[in-house]
Structure 1
Amino acid sequence: MKNKSSRNNYIFFINEEIPQPKAHLVQSTNAANGAANLGYTTVLTYPEKGRETLKPINFIRPFHPQKAPEKLIKYYNLHDKLQVAPLAMPWPIDYFPSKFTNSNTIATKYYFPFHMLGKTKLVHSRDWNFIKAAIKNGIAAIYEHHHHEDKQFEPEIVNNPLLQITVTVADTIRETMIQHGMPPEKVIKLHNGFNRLFMDRHPQQAQEWRAKLLKNGREKLVVYAGALQQFKGIDILLDVALTMPQVQFVCAGGNEMEVNHYQKLAQEKQVDNMTFLGYVLHDGLPSLLQAADILAHPHCSGQAATFTSPLKLFDYFASGTPIIATEIPSLREFQNTPAIAAWCQPDNPQEFATALAQVLTTHPRKNEGYSESVEFVKQFSWETRASKILTYVDQKWHPELAA
């Protein structure tokens, strides 16, 4: 695929090696994927370490967009339009604690101004240093910011017209950004999206998941997909599972340390009807969600409940599977939609178990899924989100559509 002009790429930058099983990396890769699906020449760039960095091409032409490798495609359910450009970070980068050997410094002070600048039309990133580098080098930028941070934004950056818009996923984050110096007219709240491949039906694979996961004569399957962290409500789900031994619970997500922690906790609590799968590649996740009788969205109260992005909620919707969700501030606007079968108070395993028992009766599993859920989620595709963001970008900074 060739650019119509040299400075035409829509650059999405991640300051971490990928793939990794982290929600913000799922968000960033899918945001880039959505922009690419709109037809823009979109390049996802990120640091790369290890043996791959020793290839001669990495020194002759360090920024060389290419087709995404199969590993990334399966990990994040990417499409074939998105290009990637790993930035080689050979030893001693990141091996010694110094700003001169830091991969972020190398990306912003070396790669961007000397190798990417002449090929970049627009930048989109959650990395503030990369946003600043783009603006200082005369490139328009879109900044994503999803968590509370106690820092002031530099006036010379936020008031620069090249900072087109900043995007967050919660009103509370928007408010704190404004309090820390972001002009109100430059920050919008916009939900995350769902990958459209989650809408494809996989009846055979779903039945294979059920055959694999349903144990000891159990016939009902409850699935949670997401981070394995206490504030996400995993401990609550363990308590629910303990009171419902006839139901099989499955958690998909988390790194090896988190999985080991919760497997040990389940053993200590004598919960034998909960399985921890670890991170499930996104090419296999849609069929797992469709295999479930119920999808669980537990959550604890606290500060995280005010800004947590309902990333998995949209993938849940797309599966057409009944959902039980927790009443936390970031989900309240969805309370009037029929796409969620039941709501529960946070920190309340008894209420969650009662709702679960009820929904298992009122919402029998359908191979084709519940249509009202699938129809509802269509407005939240990553492509729709990318299109909305670009309405806040001056037309002169829009990348041209790919040939």
Structure 2
Amino acid sequence: MNNNPTNKHYIFFINEQLPKPAAHLVQSTNAANGAANLGYSTVLIHYQKGREAMNPWLLAHPFQPRKPSVELVKYYNLQDKLKIANLPMPWPIDSWHNKFTNSNTITTKYYFPFHILPHTKIVHSRNWNFIKAAIRNGIPAIYEHHHHEDKKFEPEIVKNPLFQIAVTVIDTIRDSMIKNGMPPEKVITIHNGFNSLFMGRQPEKLTTWREKLLPDGRDKLVVYAGALKQFKGIDILIDVAKEMPNVQFACAGGNSEEVEHYQQLTKDKQVENMTFLGYILHDELVSLLQAADILAHPHCLGKAATFTSPLKLFDYLASGNPVVATEIPSLTEFKNTPAIAAWSEPDNPTKFAAALQQVLETHPKKIDGYPEIINFVKQFSWENRATKILSYVNESFLPPLIL
């Protein structure tokens, strides 16, 4: 085993193949990217499936940190300090419902103890099985948990001195974690962050988006970026667009089936001023958000409104453009701040349309964004988030700095 501490890394683990268009993957990749930008030796591990996973040499030597591919860089706005390692998962892994052919089992029983452990200083993951494997192999761990679950946390894991901290993004989740056995002193609430590349102004690309999206007769653009889900308020936003025929709406996000569904719904409702762009790579999303007159943050009431993390909110704010949001529990702390230009009650298209109209009148388009919004969001960078989390980690467990 290699016991040289300078060769040991801050390991982030995602039990999926990348890239994919999902909020939790954006969160995990950007959390790792933020830690790497602080100068820590950081490796993001994810799965490799398909033909590449059949390579015998990779199966024998799976932990091979390297620079992220161009595809990953564009997909998630990664920067050059982060390293990536793919764990090969050849067929029949995850093809048969058997614990011996399950990727979680392969990772925790084979890859971790024999290939990852010798190179690991500390781990950070949303995957509970990976966290348990780390603790049982003598590695300190940071756990991310962002949704309500009924499972109980094993006392031998959460009370182990190697279990450093659990991180969530809203107090309602923290409360449920404590009820399920997480020691209160070992769980903290910290918001998600924004990628620093969203701060860079892109006036030429901004103009290109506006020329592309604004047809003759409309000069105002409202943009939504995020999941195309009913509970996220997309259906409401379609009704809002119908009430504002002189304003153009554009939605970025969703898979092909979701895009097709909502394109058909707009046709059925005779809404002609709404465009669905599908998933936009993050290096292109920067300029799209900057191109908007207003950024829309709708949401429906319901269970999700009590825990949904405002992941896109911080990227919105980094654009410097005004935001109109629905009043939901996870956003209420941003009242009386520069973050939200106007609020609307949930599930009410007319009220949301009125809020948009109000902001269009009070906030004229600024190519460089509103400085008070940009200055406010600076505190929520992924780098600042990583610094806060690592402040709870025993100093002897911190990964090496490679500045």
Alignment TM-score > 0.5, same fold: yes
Tell me the CA shift for residue 340 of structure 1. 1.5
Q: What does the per-residue CA deviation read over 1:252-290, in whole Å, with 9 as the maximum and x for residues that have no partner?
A: 001111111111111111111100001000000010000
Gaps spanning 5+ residues in structure 1: where? none
Tell me the CA shift for residue 12 of structure 1. 0.2
Does the 8 A contact of 1:320 with 1:369 survive in 2?
yes
The residue number in structure 1 matching 2:204 is: 204
Does the 8 A contact of 1:6 with 1:118 survive in 2?
no
The residue number in structure 1 matching 2:72 is: 72
Tell me the CA shift for residue 61 of structure 1. 1.5
Alignment pair present for 1:351 and 2:351 = yes
Q: Find the aligned partners of 1:239 and 1:24 in 2 and give their Cα distance.
A: 28
The residue number in structure 1 matching 2:231 is: 231
Q: Which amino acid counterpart does residue 302 of structure 1 have in structure 2?
A: G
Deviates further, 104-113 or 52-61: 52-61
Does the 8 A contact of 2:14 with 2:28 survive in 1?
yes
Tell me the CA shift for residue 95 of structure 1. 1.0
Does the 8 A contact of 1:167 with 1:189 survive in 2?
yes
Q: Find the aligned partners of 2:383 and 2:328 in 1 and give their Cα distance.
A: 27
Tell me the CA shift for residue 59 of structure 1. 2.6
Report the secondary structure of 2:282's partner residue: coil
Tell me the CA shift for residue 7 of structure 1. 5.1
Deviates further, 24-33 or 88-97: 88-97
Does the 8 A contact of 1:4 with 1:400 survive in 2?
no
Does the 8 A contact of 1:6 with 1:119 survive in 2?
no
The residue number in structure 1 matching 2:181 is: 181
Q: Which amino acid counterpart does residue 287 of structure 2 have in structure 1?
A: S
Q: Which amino acid counterpart does residue 45 of structure 1 have in structure 2?
A: I
Q: What does the per-residue CA deviation read over 1:287-306, in whole Å, with 9 as the maximum and x for residues that have no partner?
A: 00000000000000111001
Report the secondary structure of 2:283's partner residue: coil
Q: Find the aligned partners of 1:147 and 1:258 in 2 and give their Cα distance.
A: 23
Report the secondary structure of 1:295's partner residue: strand
Q: Find the aligned partners of 1:285 and 1:4 in 2 and give their Cα distance.
A: 41
Does the 8 A contact of 1:4 with 1:402 survive in 2?
no
The residue number in structure 2 matching 1:257 is: 257
Moved over 2 A (4+): 3-7, 54-57
Mapping for residues 238-387 of structure 1, pairs under 5 Å:
238-387=238-387
Q: What does the per-residue CA deviation read over 1:227-262, in whole Å, with 9 as the maximum and x for residues that have no partner?
A: 000110001100000111111000000111111111
Tell me the CA shift for residue 143 of structure 1. 0.2
| CA spacing shift, 1:103–1:222, aligned 2, 3 Å | same
Report the secondary structure of 1:290's partner residue: helix
Tell me the CA shift for residue 374 of structure 1. 0.3
The residue number in structure 2 matching 1:170 is: 170
Number of equivalent positions: 401
Tell me the CA shift for residue 4 of structure 1. 6.7
Alignment pair present for 1:215 and 2:215 = yes
The residue number in structure 2 matching 1:96 is: 96
Report the secondary structure of 1:16's partner residue: strand
Q: What does the per-residue CA deviation read over 1:324-365, in whole Å, with 9 as the maximum and x for residues that have no partner?
A: 011100001001112311011111111000111111111000
Alignment pair present for 1:128 and 2:140 = no
Report the secondary structure of 2:161's partner residue: coil
Q: Which amino acid counterpart does residue 157 of structure 2 have in structure 1?
A: I
Does the 8 A contact of 1:299 with 1:305 survive in 2?
yes
Q: Which amino acid counterpart does residue 354 of structure 2 have in structure 1?
A: T
Report the secondary structure of 1:257's partner residue: helix
Q: Find the aligned partners of 2:179 and 2:108 in 1 and give their Cα distance.
A: 27
Q: Find the aligned partners of 1:140 and 1:226 in 2 and give their Cα distance.
A: 33
Q: Which amino acid counterpart does residue 286 of structure 1 have in structure 2?
A: V
Q: Which amino acid counterpart does residue 315 of structure 1 have in structure 2?
A: D
Tell me the CA shift for residue 78 of structure 1. 0.3
Does the 8 A contact of 2:5 with 2:121 survive in 1?
no
Tell me the CA shift for residue 105 of structure 1. 1.1
Report the secondary structure of 1:246's partner residue: coil
Report the secondary structure of 1:165's partner residue: strand
